[in-house]
């Protein structure tokens, strides 16, 4: 079967993902095998490919937003039937027994496995997944438009929850996840901070209350905000726009250093929190709210994955990139 395999981390300009013909995997136990149709492209894939994140498995097939069809099942798998359409997401498994899992925080499980990072992901024609960590895909979404929901959507939803925003939401950086979050925050005033002109146009199209840069004067203060840009400098900038008692959720698996700052930026009980992974409950809650969300997608072939990641790195992607695997 065809797969884009990361055999050695390196600059995306050097095209580290290689098209290979590898053996089709066989499911065991509670595993099922997916015939992958589409897979969303995420900045996390870029961080893994370029070595910003330590390699946990090598070689590895990246991709943690796959939509596929159940093609085979293990001897203990019984949740789905052959032909069912499902999606996998970043959390591939959790132990279910540790103090974090017991507290409803399986996203922090010390034994967690992650799709496209510690186990092979969706940039291949067939992939294995634990049936307990798969989601049925609502019929209202095509394969290509469902794919970005499986990470950009779910992690965006968790970020929105952790931000605590109720009236005014600040969004800093406007990529795949942010354009979905805007549609979740439909009852709020949404202020979008981005330098990219195409991203500004999309934010306005989606109904942003205000769009501009962090160097502009905004009189309103946000009661919650999310940083999507992987830039520590943006974190410092974002704090200036928070109201008293507000929370800044940082949606980044990797980020450049946060500059030193005056304590006044945090005073008045402003808070910062990272957003680490997602839970199955996040995924279920998000999809219960996802009806009517429209993902803006740009399609790529499997062989063109390196170019898609290069466009993402250069902030030349408006909305979500999706690889059509078959």
Over residues 89-107, mean pLDDT: 98
Burial of residue 232 (CB within 10 Å: 0-12, 13-18, 19+) is: middle
Q: What is the DSSP letter of 124?
A: B
Same domain, 73 and 176: no
Q: How high is the mean pLDDT of the chain?
A: 97
Alpha carbon 62 to chain centroid, angstroms? 13
Same domain, 130 and 172: no
Same domain, 116 and 26: yes
Give the rounded percent of residues in the chain with a pLDDT score beyond 90.
98
Q: Kindly indicate the confidence band of residue 160, based on its pLDDT and cuts at 50, 70 and 90.
A: very high
Give which of 57, 3, 48, 55 is closest to 25, Cα–Cα: 3
Q: What is the pLDDT of residue 99?
A: 97
Same domain, 54 and 131: yes
Going by C-beta distance under 8 Å and a sequence separation of 6 or more, which residues neighbour residue 46?
12, 52, 309, 312, 313
Looking at 257, 274, 291, the residue that finishes a domain is: 274
Give me the CATH number covering residue 222.
3.40.50.720
Going by C-beta distance under 8 Å and a sequence separation of 6 or more, which residues neighbour residue 239?
248, 261, 265, 266, 270, 272
Same domain, 118 and 192: no
Same domain, 23 and 8: yes
Q: What is the pLDDT of residue 80?
A: 97
pTM for the full predicted model: 0.95
Looking at 259, 274, 289, the residue that finishes a domain is: 274
Do 10 and 274 touch, CB atoms closer than 8 A? no
Give residue-wise pLDDT tens across range 258-276: 999 999 999 999 999 999 9
Q: What is the pLDDT of residue 284?
A: 97
Give me the CATH number covering residue 47.
3.90.180.10
Give which of 243, 257, 248, 246 is closest to 228, Cα–Cα: 248
Same domain, 45 and 127: yes
Question: Containing domain of residue 191, as a range?
Answer: 154-274
């Amino acid at each position: 079967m065809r797969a884009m395999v990361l055999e050695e981390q390196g600059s995306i300009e050097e095209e580290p993902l290689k098209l290979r013909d590898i053996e089709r995997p066989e499911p065991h136990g509670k595993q099922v095998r997916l015939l992958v149709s589409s897979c969303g492209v995420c900045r996390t894939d870029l961080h893994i490919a370029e070595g910003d994140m330590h390699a946990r498995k090598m070689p590895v097939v990246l991709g943690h937003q796959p939509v596929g069809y159940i093609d085979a099942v293990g001897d203990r798998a019984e949740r789905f039937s052959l032909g069912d359409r499902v999606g996998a997401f970043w959390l591939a498994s959790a132990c279910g027994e540790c103090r974090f899992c017991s507290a409803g925080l399986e996203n922090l499980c010390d034994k967690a496995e992650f799709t496209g990072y510690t186990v092979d992901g969706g940039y291949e024609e067939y992939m294995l997944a634990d049936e307990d960590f798969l989601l049925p895909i609502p019929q209202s979404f095509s394969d290509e438009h469902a794919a970005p929901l499986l990470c950009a959507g779910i992690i965006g939803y968790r970020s929105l929850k952790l931000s605590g925003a109720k009236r005014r939401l600040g969004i800093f950086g406007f990529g795949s996840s942010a354009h979905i979050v805007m549609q979740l925050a439909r009852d709020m005033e949404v202020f979008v901070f981005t330098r990219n002109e195409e991203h500004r146009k999309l934010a306005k199209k989606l109904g942003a209350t205000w769009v501009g840069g962090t160097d502009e004067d905004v009189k309103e203060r946000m009661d919650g905000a999310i940083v999507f840009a992987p830039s520590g400098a943006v974190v410092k900038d974002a704090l200036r726009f928070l109201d008293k008692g507000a929370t800044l959720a940082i949606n980044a698996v990797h980020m450049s250093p946060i500059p030193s700052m005056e304590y006044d930026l945090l005073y008045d009980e402003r808070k910062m929190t990272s957003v680490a992974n997602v839970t199955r409950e996040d995924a279920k809650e998000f999809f219960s709210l996802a009806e009517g969300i429209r993902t803006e997608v740009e399609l790529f072939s499997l062989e063109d994955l390196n170019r898609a990641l290069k466009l993402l790195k250069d902030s030349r992607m408006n909305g979500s990139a999706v690889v059509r695997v078959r």
